[in-house]
Amino acid sequence: MNPSNHIFLRALNGETLERPPVWMMRQAGRYLPEYIALRNKYDFFTRVQTPELAAAITLQPIDIIGPDAAIIFSDILVIPQAMGLEVLMEEGKGPLLPKTIATQNDIDALETSGAAEKLHYVLDALRLTKEQLAGRVPLIGFAGAPFTILCYLVEGKGSKTWEKAKQFCFTHPQLAHQLLQKITDITIDYLLAQVAAGADAVQVFDSWSGSLSKADFELFAQPYLLQIADALHQSAPVILFPKGSWYALPALAKSNASAIGIDWCMDAKTARQLTADAITLQGNFDPAKLLATPAQIVQWTTDMIDSFGTTRYIANLGHGITPNVPVANAKAFINAVKSYRAKA
């Protein structure tokens, strides 16, 4: 199979389709017993940094639940590591960066070159996965968006409000922009290297941009998302996922991205209006609905596709799948999309 003919890439290309493609954020993850078996044997960064393990984890959902795309098993915090910072990951507790960024000296010390060498294990994992996929489905690479990475660099761990990161942006905007530019530069290199290693598309996760007002998103998030889309789009289609930043849809719809991910707070009609029906949308099933019965999941999934349509649409969740979802329910979601046919 030539992946460029695959339904997932055709949806990113805006082609007319009979049904949308489907994948799930965090589809390679803790709801799969096969993943838990590997997690119990290898710690997080061993799984991320061993290409054979990352490839095996990436392929698990392809074999088990059958989505229309694979997404490489990795983490957005490999970029801080490539910039020279230590990142610790305690299972179930989230990340911890012992050294955080606060001053000009801190920013000056961050490295922005050599992403491909330092993160060779991700590129090796992409190559290995691509080989093992043997054309079955396209392969998605990814990175964190610059604002989201800044959040972790400044706060050093997860936060509900990211107020320390925002305080840094609001009170030291020049430092913030320097930092965001450094993250952007290395991220562009890293994503281009992922494409060279076999990624058929890339997704940029701005997981915390929804903590910003529209005006602050336009200052601290949007310019860097646009730089990434501009730098990548001739190499591979780009999906931007600024979670919670519903207000950003009109601007991002005019960007060089091929698709925008949306969460479940945005209904299809509003999303199509805000994007002037000009870009592929990806989302937006509430992951909590995967805890209902398979019959309900099929009905809700069908309703969702009815409202988005089958063209310029990629069915997905509005956020990552949660660990407590039964595998049968994840399959029900995937199969509901794959068996959908547009009404006459």
Catalytic residues: 26, 30, 39, 75, 152
Say whether residue 267 binds a second copy (CB under 8 A): yes
Q: Could you tell me if 15 and 89 are in contact, meaning their C-beta atoms sit under 8 angstroms apart?
A: no
Say whether residue 37 binds a second copy (CB under 8 A): no
Say whether residue 241 binds a second copy (CB under 8 A): no
* Region near a second copy per CB under 8 A, out of 28-36, 43-51, 86-94, 289-297: 289-297
* Binding residue for a second copy, selected from 42, 45, 121, 246, defined by CB under 8 A: 246
* Region near a second copy per CB under 8 A, out of 55-63, 66-74, 124-132, 160-168: 160-168
* Region near a second copy per CB under 8 A, out of 64-72, 107-115, 116-124, 258-266: 258-266
* Region near a second copy per CB under 8 A, out of 138-146, 149-157, 192-200, 212-220: 212-220
Rounded Cα–Cα distance for residues 220 and 225 (Å): 10
Q: How many residues bind a second copy (CB under 8 A)?
A: 34
Task: Specify the DSSP class assigned to residue 157.
Answer: B
Residues 6+ apart with CB under 8 A from 193: 115, 116, 119, 123
Say whether residue 282 binds a second copy (CB under 8 A): no
* Binding residue for a second copy, selected from 213, 273, 299, 339, defined by CB under 8 A: 213
Q: Could you tell me if 282 and 239 are in contact, meaning their C-beta atoms sit under 8 angstroms apart?
A: yes
Residue closest to 183 by CA, chosen among 209, 219, 220: 220
CA 133 distance to own-chain centroid: 20
* Binding residue for a second copy, selected from 113, 270, 299, 339, defined by CB under 8 A: 270
Say whether residue 283 binds a second copy (CB under 8 A): no
CA 169-173-176 angle, to 5 degrees, is 65
- Report the residue number, 55 or 262, with the smaller CB distance to a second copy: 262
Say whether residue 264 binds a second copy (CB under 8 A): yes
Tell me how far, at minimum, the Cβ of 212 lies from a second copy, in Å: 8
| List of E strands, 188-244 | 201-206, 238-242
- Report the residue number, 42 or 246, with the smaller CB distance to a second copy: 246
Tell me how far, at minimum, the Cβ of 286 lies from a second copy, in Å: 6
Tell me how far, at minimum, the Cβ of 323 lies from a second copy, in Å: 10
Say whether residue 44 binds a second copy (CB under 8 A): no
Burial 38-72 (b: 16+ CB within 10 A, else e): bbeeeeebebbbbbebbbbbbbbbbebbebbbbbb
* Binding residue for a second copy, selected from 43, 90, 117, 163, defined by CB under 8 A: 163
Say whether residue 170 binds a second copy (CB under 8 A): yes
Say whether residue 216 binds a second copy (CB under 8 A): yes
The set of long-range contacts for 227-230, using a CB threshold of 8 Å and a minimum separation of 24, is: 227/184, 227/188, 228/143, 228/145, 228/146, 228/184, 228/187, 228/188, 228/191, 228/204, 229/204, 229/255, 229/256, 229/257, 230/255, 230/256
Q: Is 272 exposed, middle or buried (0-12, 13-18, 19+ CB in 10 A)?
A: buried
Rounded Cα–Cα distance for residues 314 and 138 (Å): 13
- Report the residue number, 189 or 263, with the smaller CB distance to a second copy: 263
Say whether residue 288 binds a second copy (CB under 8 A): yes
From the CA atom positions of the chain, what is the Rg in Å? 19
The residues binding a second copy (CB under 8 A) are: 160-163, 166-167, 170-171, 210, 212-216, 244-247, 264-267, 270, 286-289, 291-293, 296, 319, 322, 324
